[in-house]
Amino acid sequence: MNQRLSPPARPSYHHGKLRQALVDMAVTVAEETGKDLISVREVARRLGVSSGAPFRHFPNREALMTAVAEEATVRLRMRVERDLRDAPTDPKARLKALGCSFIEWALDNPTQFRLVSQRRLFDFGASPSLATHFDAVRNLTLGLVEQAQAAGALPPGPAASLALGLRALVYGLARMHVDGQLPQWRVSPEAARDALTTSMSALVDALGAQRG
């Protein structure tokens, strides 16, 4: 007597765990496919849940990608704050430590860095979390620039402008790696981490040499 086999049961997720699983899977899909535009339905299919389940958490792709950006930004802030706890007290050394944290986070999390860099993918203005964590890292940068200026380790001038330039420096260096541009500068993937942090440190030192 033939028995009809039941279809495999769909995975069951606790309410909060499904949301996190969706965010994690969105990053996985982006990493595996190289795509930036990640479909909520594709993420649901990969997880093996019903196509309607994710929409209780994320009504559209933009909402899902905003959650991805929020988590990435929280992790960046946590890394920066952790590394600064172990950094020397000298303000210029701490500024370098902050720059190293950003570069190393981007190299360790290239997919999240790529996605967060694409502001068209998510709604920054609709997320209090994004604004809070971005501001926290910005304020740390600005405060360290002001301390380094007061100590004579950086040139005088508008601290906000200098902080913005330093952020652009580490962002640009990390982006060169993620976009695959470093081999053109004779930097192998294995040497990327040291090359980028050394370049950042050298430029901060060069700024200090112009003080007065």
Q: What is the mean pLDDT of each run of 10 residues along the chain (212 residues)?
A: 47 68 94 90 90 87 94 95 94 96 96 92 91 95 96 94 96 95 95 96 87 51
As a whole number of angstroms, the distance between CA 182 and CA 144 comes to 29
Q: Within 10 Å of residue 75's Cβ, how many Cβ atoms?
A: 15
Residue 12: predicted pLDDT? 55
List the end-to-end C-alpha distance of the chain, in Å, as a whole number. Answer: 93
pLDDT at 51: 78
Which pLDDT score, from 0 to 100, does residue 53 have?
84
What pLDDT, on the 0 to 100 scale, is given for residue 9? Answer: 45
Other beta carbons within 10 Å of 150: 12
C-beta of residue 114 within 8 angstroms of C-beta of residue 68:
no
CATH number for the domain formed by residue range(s) 68-209: 1.10.357.10
pLDDT at 5: 46
Within the chain, all domains assigned CATH 1.10.357.10 are found at 68-209
* Nearest-angstrom CA–CA distance, 203 and 119: 28
Question: Could you please report the per-residue DSSP string of 114-176?
Answer: HHHH-GGGS-GGG-HHHHHHHHHHHHHHHHHHHHHHHTTSS-SS-HHHHHHHHHHHHHHHHHH
Q: Are 80 and 100 in contact (CB under 8 A)?
A: no
Amino acid type, 20: Q
Write down the pTM of the prediction. 0.86
**Residue 1 pLDDT:** 46
- The pLDDT assigned to 7 comes to 43
Q: Where in the chain is the domain with CATH 1.10.10?
A: 11-59
Domain 11-59, CATH class in plain words: mainly alpha
| Model pLDDT, residue 15 | 47
The residues near 178 (Cβ < 8 Å, ≥ 6 apart) are 106, 110, 113, 114
